[in-house]
Amino acid sequence: MQAVPLVKTSILAGTVGVITGAGSGIGAAAVRCFAAAGAKAIYASDVVDRNLQAVADGVAQEGYETEVIGVKTDITKSDQVEELVRKVIAEHGRLDWFFANAGIVDFEVLSTTTPEALTRMLDVNVVGAFNSVQWAARGMMNTSDAKPTPGGSIIITTSLASTFGGMGAPAYTISKHAAVGLVRAAATNLGMANTGIRVNGVGPGPTATAIAQNNMQGASQDAMSALMEHAKAAGSNPAAMSAVAPPEYIAQTAVFLASDMAAGVNGENIIVDKGLRQKPDPFSGLMFNPSIEPL
């Protein structure tokens, strides 16, 4: 799936922020989207930094004037997230938005999910997001001549799997339900503290990224075989493939949530699934496709 052409806007003009998991997939697309929205500087973070320079070079080649700074960060380590946020404040004096996008998936059923695998899933998808929220909020309270009042927007990548049990593997589903709990609890706490900081989730449905293949290490043979069979079946099914979104769709929703256009949105989990949940269920009674004629 080719990268989606982006429309340049100025809704994030002059702002500075962080995108985690920026080396590929939704994170890499988000760097493009936030640059297209006029961000002054983007700190592109990932646990492995080998792709970050290519992401930054891509933004420059597309003609965006945004400064992209690659930073290797393990979000499961609170001190590393703190170091990242302190770097942003030291270099730009402000933190306006933080897209806590980094995450992992797995493919095991309940009976083959080990305690170690569940712990790893929660460590990245929940503890990592929690560390991001804690330090992002601290950074957003800093003010400067360019940002005289505290506040900002934190966006956490959740998932369509946070809305029901049949979308992801058990450990992944558990972690993403917890991520939504984090969104709601953080929005409430930061609101009670009168910080001016909003916290929202953006939940991808099926998305054209390499996250599946990037997380296959350690998967059981049964899980690997099932994934290959499902991918093969989906690839030959136009209806299934029509539900797969380019990562820019999710990233552009994050841009909206980061901007003042979403000033009234707080504590929400916005699902970006190309209407997958609205497709008819076999038991819905919709036995044939409706036809809508023009006037």
Tens digits of per-residue pLDDT, 25-71? Answer: 999 999 999 999 999 999 999 999 999 999 999 999 999 999 999 99
The three-class DSSP label of residue 264 is coil
The owner of tokens 């506040």 is: 151
| Beta strands 67-72 and 152-157, pairing class | unpaired
Among residues 193, 235, 195, 196, the alpha carbon closest in space to that of 212 is found at 235
C-alpha–C-alpha distance, residues 254 and 244, integer Å = 18
Q: What percent of the chain has pLDDT over 90?
A: 75
User: Does 214 or 256 have the greater pLDDT score?
Assistant: 256
H/E stretch holding 233: helix 221-235
Query: Do the Cβ atoms of 219 and 284 come closer than 8 Å?
Result: no
| pLDDT range class, residue 4, cuts 50, 70, 90 | confident
Query: Do the Cβ atoms of 27 and 249 come closer than 8 Å?
Result: no
pLDDT at residue 281, rounded to an integer: 78
User: What is the average pLDDT value for the chain, to the nearest integer?
Assistant: 91
| pLDDT range class, residue 254, cuts 50, 70, 90 | very high
Residues 6 or more apart whose Cβ sits within 8 Å of residue 61 = none
Taking each helix axis from N to C terminus, what angle separates 170-192 and 115-122, rounded to the nearest 10 degrees?
Answer: 30
195-204, 224-233, 269-278: the lowest-pLDDT one: 224-233
Question: What letter would DSSP give residue 71?
Answer: E
Tens digits of per-residue pLDDT, 112-147? Answer: 999 999 999 999 999 999 999 999 999 999 999 989
pLDDT at residue 59, rounded to an integer: 96
For the chain, list the domains and their CATH numbers: 16-273 (3.40.50.720)
User: Does 290 or 99 have the greater pLDDT score?
Assistant: 99
Question: What letter would DSSP give residue 238?
Answer: H
pLDDT at residue 283, rounded to an integer: 78
Q: Quick one: average pLDDT of 77-91?
A: 98
pLDDT exceeds cutoff 70 at 163: yes
pLDDT at residue 273, rounded to an integer: 93
pLDDT at residue 65, rounded to an integer: 94
User: Does 267 or 145 have the greater pLDDT score?
Assistant: 267
Instruction: Establish whether 172 is a catalytic residue.
Output: yes
Tens digits of per-residue pLDDT, 204-228? Answer: 998 887 655 555 566 667 656 666 6
Among residues 11, 81, 18, the alpha carbon closest in space to that of 52 is found at 18
Residues 6 or more apart whose Cβ sits within 8 Å of residue 121 = 104, 106, 171, 172, 174, 175
List the catalytic residue out of 43, 64, 172, 249: 172
